[in-house]
Amino acid sequence: MTVTFADTTRILTTTESDQIGVYTASFGISLGLTSLFNALLVVVKETNEHTVLAWMKAAGHHWVTHGVLDLVVFVILGFALARFGQNWSSSPSKVTALAVGGVVVGGLIVTGFFLRQLV
**pLDDT tens-digit map of 63-96:** 788 888 999 999 999 999 999 877 888 889 999 9
Per-residue model confidence as pLDDT tens digits over 5-21:
554 555 545 455 678 89
107, 114 contact by CB (below 8 A): no
Listed by start position, the domains of the chain span: 21-118
Give residue 18's identity as a one-letter amino acid code. Answer: D
Does pTM surpass 0.85?
A: no
The pLDDT of residue 59 is above 80: no
- What is the chain's length? 119
42, 25 contact by CB (below 8 A): no
Count of Cβ atoms closer than 10 Å to residue 19 Cβ: 16
The pLDDT of residue 22 is above 70: yes
Cα distances (angstroms) measured from residue 117 to each of 7, 89, 113, 114: 53, 41, 6, 5
Q: What is the CA radius of gyration of the chain?
A: 19
Helix (H, G, I), strand (E, B) or coil at 2: strand
CA angle 36, 42, 44 (to 5 degrees): 100
Give the H or E element holding residue 9: strand 8-11
